[in-house]
């Protein structure tokens, strides 16, 4: 095979299975997310190396734990500017649970740190009342907006997904809300802005429906 042919084959392979950088900053459910992405035929690189992230085709930021701790680790590992650069370069970006919340400007949970400020708005705590906090278990999402998100292609309206969180995002721009969920109040469980996607639920724990959402992300150009 000629060198030109090898390059052509390599590029063809990348277009079918583009590499996804799964950011490991010590605050995410890495194993489950990696396994789910690979089930969707993705080539996944678990990394916190800025160079690897910027060379990837897509970026996934998972997250479990406290807002201050997560932002602190991103700062310590030099990943804040890398994430912002990747988004500016129009790489498809998916934030999961806390990874979604970090996209906003601030959180009521945080005492020291501001968010990435990719999206305008703040993260609020569920009010105490008749509903248990954290919100844990299966719940429905309902799409909203004029155009249904491409990540919801093939997902039934009112589909159940798995949640585990005590805080929820409150975007300033309601137009970025792609789906909502009811739990004591109606909150944004899925946001989308240009190449940025954020889900409050855990698609990696949401069985077939979650895999459909992750598969749609994997297949994005």
Q: Distances from the Cα of 147 to the Cαs of 51, 100, 124, 169, 192, in angstroms?
A: 35, 21, 26, 21, 11
* Catalytic positions: 97, 202, 204
Q: Which two tokens stand for residue 135?
A: 């919100």
112-166 pLDDT, tens digit each: 999 999 999 999 999 988 889 999 999 999 999 778 999 999 999 999 999 999 9
Judged against a pLDDT cut of 50, whether residue 102 lies above it is answered with: yes
pLDDT at 206: 98
Closest CA to 96 of 218, 221, 211, 197: 197
168: domain CATH number is 3.40.50.880
Task: Count the domains in the chain.
Answer: 1
Residue 44 β-bridge partners: 20
Residue tagged 């969707």 (tokens): 40
What pLDDT, in 10s, does the model give residues 10-40?
A: 334 443 335 999 999 999 889 999 999 999 9
Q: Token digits for 69?
A: 């701790």
Distance, CA of 220 to CA of 151 (rounded, Å): 9
Query: 6-18 in b/e burial notation, b at 16+ Cβ within 10 A?
Result: eeeeeeeeeeeeb
Interatomic CA distance for residues 42 and 145, integer angstroms: 29
pLDDT tens figures, 68-89:
999 999 999 999 999 999 999 9
Range of the domain at 79: 3-218
Please tell me the distance from the alpha carbon of residue 17 to that of residue 13, in angstroms, as a whole number.
6
């Amino acid at each position: 095979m000629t060198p030109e042919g090898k390059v052509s084959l390599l590029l063809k392979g990348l277009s079918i299975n583009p590499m996804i950088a799964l950011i490991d900053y010590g605050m995410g459910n890495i194993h489950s997310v990696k396994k789910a992405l690979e089930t969707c035929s993705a080539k996944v690189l678990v990394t916190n190396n800025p160079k690897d992230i910027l060379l990837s085709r897509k970026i996934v930021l998972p997250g479990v734990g406290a807002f201050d701790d997560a932002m602190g680790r991103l700062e310590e590992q030099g990943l804040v500017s890398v994430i912002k650069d990747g988004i500016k370069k129009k790489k498809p970006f998916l934030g999961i649970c806390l990874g979604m919340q970090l996209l906003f400007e601030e959180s009521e949970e945080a005492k020291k740190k501001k968010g990435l400020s990719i999206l305008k708005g703040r993260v609020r705590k569920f009010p105490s009342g008749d509903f248990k906090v954290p919100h844990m278990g299966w719940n429905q999402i309902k799409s909203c907006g004029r155009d249904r998100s491409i990540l919801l292609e093939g997902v039934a309206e009112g589909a159940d997904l798995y949640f585990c969180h005590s805080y929820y995002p409150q975007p300033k721009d309601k137009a970025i809300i792609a789906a909502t969920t009811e739990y004591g109040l109606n909150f944004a469980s899925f946001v989308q802005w240009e190449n940025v996607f954020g889900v409050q639920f855990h698609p990696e724990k949401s069985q077939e429906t979650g895999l459909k959402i992750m598969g749609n992300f994997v297949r994005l150009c």
